[in-house]
Chains A and B, each alone.
Chain A
């Protein structure tokens, strides 16, 4: 329904998107024992590292191949090998997830070929899985990089077809999901006695927890053994249109069919997901707590619609998140008056119930929001400047969120998460309810002589 447009401007003001390489790094961190390795100059990693640490409030084991002047000219194969050796020696990662950057892609590194040669030459590397995703900073954003990393992991780590276990399902988790979102979906799947393998599973690695000892790798996430069993699942449930390609690749390798959920926020959207789970489980009924959660969501929708009906929303985020949250609000009578997103690659944007989506920056979102008289802004933490200038409440969603704790604890999917989201938006709308003044109605102020002169 929406037309994707790019403002005819050379200048980008206040970026909305984060780089694809950082998206890949985030995805790799959903695998137990992994270390993401950005193939680029140190700065590529340093900026990403700071952003991720601030967002997750966690130590992030992100490393760099530290390309220098000479390797930039002569090729970075040695840098990669040296980085792999160092990481193996220092942290014994189960997986090294390499993501390229604009630097290495511009010079035209053949990392895949070099890795093949390296493996052939170095038999001692077999106990560390190495995955490579091409994520130049000049193509797409965080969501695209995440999807590329997930696809690369499937290619590299899932051996192929296996004997199908009827109650085992794959859950491909998109970059728009928080740890709490993933956990909610896992809970729903398990509620129907189904056993999910989540890829990537940031709900057990980047959820913010304290465990015994120090590990310089991802502390939690999907195990490599589980990833290897993904070909034995009955079905792949895909949370987010951005992972359709990854699911297709998985189906091609293993024959496991998939179903994409463009969103899991919204009553009817979650109903569809639950119906699938019931079908997979052969159940004609749902557990009591699932039913209760749905009933509470219905009540929250009834209560919230007074505030969301006609609410003029501006939203800026990666495509899957824009669609998930935006469409759910339209279900509740809100109007998307300004939308900005980061990538042309995701067709879900075209379905956003609004006239146009800018593939642009926060500056464009701010302009449109001001023109259209938006009442609430949904964006990541950088949106606070626009929100301040426009005097609007900012509902923080997406990446990065560095000025609030618990960004990963916010759940906006499933019955429970949708309920929380509806109430959150209704509260944001209430928070800015204007105190009526005579001038709003064109009435004159009270006469001077009526006023009490305080002694």
Chain B
């Protein structure tokens, strides 16, 4: 690892603003929350993947991957971050390094040309250049190439020096945050900064989730100045230093970015979530209070309270028809980064029983809330191996699994309804309206008549019963053994 990169990795790992990390002894603190990756038992993405996930939602930038094909070719066009403008971020750009490039050391030249070509073809506001394992190994100086190209073509060219081998996806998120701090934020000044400008960090607008909460801000006159990075324009990210408050959306990974904004530009931040009714309300309330503290008109507080009251009432009214359809259903929650207690509370309110919830990435504070809501901690678990989860589901101990894509097939193969709650999902579950959508998705999953069909025994299995005749007006011959003989 190059010394510069090493220092950067060290820097982001030792995160002073993370309560979990602060609680650790000094020696461990430097390791941050990065667990050593276990060969043969690792399932997550690499650091490059994490950096790309965090930056790619900047919709009008070109995202150019400097490496052999797999890094971009195998993974592009698979994420659900939505754009209201440019579609350039969805275009897969890569230098597609060949064997000859590697052997002859032509990587830097190819990268420089690729940057020129992408700028000439698309005139983007900026180009993000992602280093990869191979470009790092062959010693391509991505930073220098980017610098030269930026000067020559008068376009910001940002090196994202995060080769996959440096660590996990989570680390890549952090390094992406650091990249924005070092190269992007503070490079453009907003025309008319206002006392109601905020940053939203760690919300990637998957399936349009940012737009589910944006109308709430619109109504309060709050402007999302720095969107990091859901549906973001490059210039918007570059203006983030002029916001009054930063909201860090349930993402420990980008804490360094929120802290950096505070240290460099004195922007206070808070952590919140848009999943669940209570969390959404809390986020709005906190944001309003912090804005007023920073000089926003004091009536914002009352307006926020009125909005919360109205929205909560509307949401419960919208959820009411589903109560009869989902009450009594037992839910197993297996989520990653989402704070789950707020969702748990809402599901319980609708009469559902949460039989278990993962607390893999929850803080102690979160765990305490869950324990408070669920009565005890017997239903909290860290990790569950697929085999164990299959046993739980096949044993009918839960009626529906809500999880990310990795456990999707554990649910399906055990013939258990499943609701997708991860980054690749196609439905948006944020804010008040998102909660209604989520309950609707649960209803659709658990009440699909298909489950009874696929669980019924086959004709050659014990206990097979032919489907009931659909109407008595038809002459339907029952199919007991004697009947087969005369037919």
Q: Which residues in A have some Cβ–Cβ distance to B below 8 Å?
A: 234-235, 241, 244, 257-260, 262, 266-269, 271-272, 274-276, 278-280, 284-286, 291, 294, 298-299, 301-303, 305, 309-310, 327, 330-333, 347-348, 350-351, 433, 435-438, 440-447, 449-452, 454-455
Tell me the smallest distance from the CB of B228 to a CB of chain A, in Å: 13
Taking a contact as CB atoms closer than 8 A, the residue among A257, A271, A332, A450 that contacts B459 in the complex is A271
Once the chains bind, are A278 and B460 in contact (CB under 8 Å)? yes
The residues of A that contact B487 with a CB separation of less than 8 Å are 234-235, 257-259, 276, 279-280
Q: Which residue of B lies closest to A285 (CB)?
A: B460
Q: Which residue of A lies closest to B485 (CB)?
A: A279
In the complex, 20 of the A-B residue pairs with CB atoms within 8 angstroms, ordered by the A residue number, are A257-B487, A271-B464, A272-B466, A272-B467, A272-B479, A286-B460, A291-B460, A294-B458, A301-B454, A302-B450, A305-B448, A309-B450, A331-B450, A333-B444, A435-B82, A436-B211, A441-B215, A443-B214, A444-B215, A452-B125
A-B contact count (CB 8 A): 162
Taking a contact as CB atoms closer than 8 A, the residue among A235, A333, A435, A452 that contacts B124 in the complex is A452
Taking a contact as CB atoms closer than 8 A, the residue among A260, A271, A309 that contacts B475 in the complex is A260
The residues of A that contact B474 with a CB separation of less than 8 Å are 241, 260, 262, 347-348
The residues of A that contact B473 with a CB separation of less than 8 Å are 347, 350
The 8 A CB mask of B467-487 against A (1 = contact, 0 = none) is 100110111110101011111
Tell me the smallest distance from the CB of A205 to a CB of chain B, in Å: 28
Once the chains bind, are B464 and A441 in contact (CB under 8 Å)? no
- For the A-B complex with A262-B470, A305-B448, A441-B211 known, give 10 more contacts whose Cβ atoms are closer than 8 Å: A274-B459, A276-B487, A302-B415, A332-B450, A441-B215, A446-B85, A446-B236, A451-B85, A452-B125, A452-B233
Taking a contact as CB atoms closer than 8 A, the residue among B235, B471, B484 that contacts A279 in the complex is B484
Once the chains bind, are B466 and A257 in contact (CB under 8 Å)? no
Q: Is B317 an interface residue (CB 8 A)?
A: no
Once the chains bind, are B444 and A446 in contact (CB under 8 Å)? no
- Which of B209-241 touch A at CB < 8 Å? 210-212, 214-215, 218, 223, 231, 233-236, 239
The residues of B that contact A303 with a CB separation of less than 8 Å are 412
Greatest chain A CB density within 10 A among B124, B433, B444, B448 is at B448
Once the chains bind, are B484 and A331 in contact (CB under 8 Å)? no
The residues of A that contact B365 with a CB separation of less than 8 Å are none
Q: Is B107 an interface residue (CB 8 A)?
A: no
With contact pairs A262-B470, A291-B458, A452-B60 given, residues A275 and B464 touching in the complex (Cβ less than 8 Å) = yes
Q: Which residues in B have some Cβ–Cβ distance to A below 8 Å?
A: 60, 82, 84-86, 123-125, 190-191, 207-208, 210-212, 214-215, 218, 223, 231, 233-236, 239, 412-413, 415, 426, 428, 433, 444-445, 447-450, 453-454, 456, 458-460, 464, 466-467, 470-471, 473-477, 479, 481, 483-487
Taken together as a complex, chains A and B put the C-alpha atoms of A269 and B476 apart, in Å, by 13
Taken together as a complex, chains A and B put the C-alpha atoms of A275 and B164 apart, in Å, by 55
Taken together as a complex, chains A and B put the C-alpha atoms of A214 and B325 apart, in Å, by 63
The residues of A that contact B212 with a CB separation of less than 8 Å are 441, 443
Once the chains bind, are B215 and A286 in contact (CB under 8 Å)? no
Taken together as a complex, chains A and B put the C-alpha atoms of A65 and B447 apart, in Å, by 57
Tell me the smallest distance from the CB of A354 to a CB of chain B, in Å: 13
Once the chains bind, are B484 and A445 in contact (CB under 8 Å)? no
Taken together as a complex, chains A and B put the C-alpha atoms of A278 and B479 apart, in Å, by 11
Taken together as a complex, chains A and B put the C-alpha atoms of A347 and B191 apart, in Å, by 71
Q: Which residue of B lies closest to A280 (CB)?
A: B484
Once the chains bind, are B428 and A271 in contact (CB under 8 Å)? no
Q: Which residue of B lies closest to A269 (CB)?
A: B467
Once the chains bind, are A441 and B467 in contact (CB under 8 Å)? no
Taken together as a complex, chains A and B put the C-alpha atoms of A332 and B453 apart, in Å, by 9
Taking a contact as CB atoms closer than 8 A, the residue among B428, B445, B453 that contacts A436 in the complex is B428
Tell me the smallest distance from the CB of A305 to a CB of chain B, in Å: 5
Taking a contact as CB atoms closer than 8 A, the residue among A234, A286, A310, A348 that contacts B444 in the complex is A310
Tell me the smallest distance from the CB of A271 to a CB of chain B, in Å: 5
Tell me the smallest distance from the CB of A151 to a CB of chain B, in Å: 17
With contact pairs A268-B453, A275-B479 given, residues A455 and B459 touching in the complex (Cβ less than 8 Å) = no
Taken together as a complex, chains A and B put the C-alpha atoms of A267 and B464 apart, in Å, by 13
Taking a contact as CB atoms closer than 8 A, the residue among A271, A301, A305 that contacts B467 in the complex is A271
The residues of B that contact A294 with a CB separation of less than 8 Å are 458
Tell me the smallest distance from the CB of B210 to a CB of chain A, in Å: 8
Taken together as a complex, chains A and B put the C-alpha atoms of A343 and B144 apart, in Å, by 76
Taking a contact as CB atoms closer than 8 A, the residue among A262, A332, A351, A440 that contacts B208 in the complex is A440
Taking a contact as CB atoms closer than 8 A, the residue among A267, A450, A455 that contacts B454 in the complex is A267
Once the chains bind, are B450 and A305 in contact (CB under 8 Å)? yes
Tell me the smallest distance from the CB of A102 to a CB of chain B, in Å: 31
Taken together as a complex, chains A and B put the C-alpha atoms of A320 and B467 apart, in Å, by 18
Taken together as a complex, chains A and B put the C-alpha atoms of A331 and B451 apart, in Å, by 9
The residues of B that contact A450 with a CB separation of less than 8 Å are 233, 235-236, 239
Taking a contact as CB atoms closer than 8 A, the residue among A351, A446, A452 that contacts B84 in the complex is A446
Q: Which residue of A lies closest to B427 (CB)?
A: A436
Once the chains bind, are B459 and A278 in contact (CB under 8 Å)? yes
Taken together as a complex, chains A and B put the C-alpha atoms of A438 and B428 apart, in Å, by 12
